[in-house]
Amino acid sequence: MKHILAIIDDVYEDLELWYPKIRLEEESWNVVVAAPEAERLYKGKHGYPCVSDAAIADVASDDYDALLVPGGFAPDKLRRDPKVLELVREFDAAGKPIAHICHAGWILISAGVLKGKKTTSTVGIKDDMNNAGAEWIDEPVVIDGNQIASRTPKDLAAFSKALVDMING
């Protein structure tokens, strides 16, 4: 049994949470959705509801095998939380899979884990990604070490498959 942590806030990109979450559950794995508050309803960019399982303040990276960071505009809020950045650095330092898509790259920028990394994101933050020291590539999935990156919801099949494969080793 693998445990995967997903982090969201309001205005998360609906499918970028739900598609990988259900896909990972298809593998009989446990996905925990953490948000600023536990057991509160958060609404996606298009309105899809998600009740959080845990508060970000209460989760520990040691309890998880991988980190999923959906996009939308939630990352604009989440990158301001030092605990979020600490979690990202811990997953990265431990070499555990980190899968981020679309605007989620903002969080990796603020965590300072992109230097010298091949990556991708929505084209909207391409400049931010390059300015953070990454090499931005226009492909559906870019993998560099433990980091998996995709551009938009159109890439979700390949993105989620890459995460499943990386967790499976």
Which residues of this chain interact with a second copy, rule CB under 8 A? 14-15, 18-19, 22-23, 25-26, 44, 46-49, 156-158, 160-161
Q: In terms of CB distance, is 65 or 155 closer to a second copy?
A: 155
Rounded least distance, CB 155 to a second copy, Å: 10
Question: Is 103 noted as a catalytic residue in this protein?
Answer: yes
Q: Name 131's Cβ contacts closer than 8 Å, sequence gap at least 6.
A: none
Question: Is 50 noted as a catalytic residue in this protein?
Answer: no
- CB–CB of 105/76 below 8 Å? no
Q: In terms of CB distance, is 142 or 156 closer to a second copy?
A: 156
Rounded least distance, CB 80 to a second copy, Å: 26
Q: Name 104's Cβ contacts closer than 8 Å, sequence gap at least 6.
A: 16, 69, 70, 71, 75, 121
Please state the separation of Cα 8 from the chain's center in Å: 9
**Active-site residues: which are they?**
102-103
